Amino acid sequence: MMPNETTPRAACLIGWPAAHSRSPLIHHHWLRSMDIPGGYSIESIPPEGVAEFVMNLSKHGYIGANVTIPHKERVLKLTSPDRRARAVGAANTLWYDHGTLRATNTDIEGFIDNLDHCAHDWDHTDDALVLGAGGSSRAVVFGLLDRGIKHVYVANRSLDRAEAMAAQFGSRVVPLAWENVASILPRASLLVNTTSLGMSGQPPLAVNLDLLPDQAVVADLVYVPLDTPLLAAARARGLRTADGLGMLLYQAVRGFELWFGQRPDVTPELRRLIEADLTVA
């Protein structure tokens, strides 16, 4: 059962907690700027209620949804996930396709599209170094492999998690002990931080960026603060950077297109809107 087509379409964010999300600001901005009748709501759903809510998403009045922690893994079993969601082991976007609730992971294209915007030739390299081996790291690694990067080194304080990623994605992923990061920096033309280090309230990320090649690009998935110590240090060295806010904005594009039928643009106006909200928060 789908919502009545004569009523405005609505999507939502499913999480626990979810009130902190900037997704409503992003999608409402696009709805207004494109003059599309519709809505986007936050649904704070505890883990014990997520199965019922997702399996009856249309009955709750929604044509699709974003999914955030702690539900991104659970929804794989409640939907029909695509290759990307299965590979990453998590989904963040749901939509109906001829009555079937499908799932994908747009963190992948959010990361890649933001890199393309910030440093158009970032992929002219054989080697990338990814710090961290959590869920966001899997999305990054998938995107890098899909783009054709030959060797993706994954460094994590718990080496077994990096080794598990190598086992999952194949020989192009090379697990790396955290204490050996410096040995790879001179050959890495892309450095990506997927850890929480550098986030507000967390310790800074201690990496010697002087070891990176002069053409290197540094990306940080953290967006609170907007200007992380890692990105500030990279710019001070004259390196190009890609921040976490850009990834947040670009990952929202495909969901909006699936739900509302038009592809939105990530504009300077939208970025200023979210930056202002993050500053107030």
Residues assigned a catalytic role: 72
CA nearest to 155, candidates 188, 127, 190, 130? 130
Task: Enumerate residues 6+ apart whose C-beta is below 8 A from 93.
Answer: 64, 65, 66, 67, 103, 104, 105, 106, 254, 255, 258
**Pair of tokens at residue 37:** 């009748």
HEC per residue, 214-243: CCCEEEECCCCCCCCHHHHHHHHCCCEEEC
Q: First CA to last CA across the chain, in angstroms? A: 39
Instruction: Give dist(CA 34, CA 227) in Å, integer.
Output: 30
Give the separation between CA 12 and CA 43, rounded to whole angstroms. 7
Q: Is 19 helix (H, G, I), strand (E, B) or coil?
A: coil
Tokens 């450095």 locate to 191
* Residue 236: count of CB within 10 angstroms of its CB: 9
Structure-token pair, residue 24: 């409503």
Torsion of CA 42, 43, 46, 47, to 10 degrees: -100
Instruction: Looking at 79-152, list the stretches that DSSP marks H as alpha helix, in order from N- to C-terminal side.
Output: 83-88, 107-118, 135-147
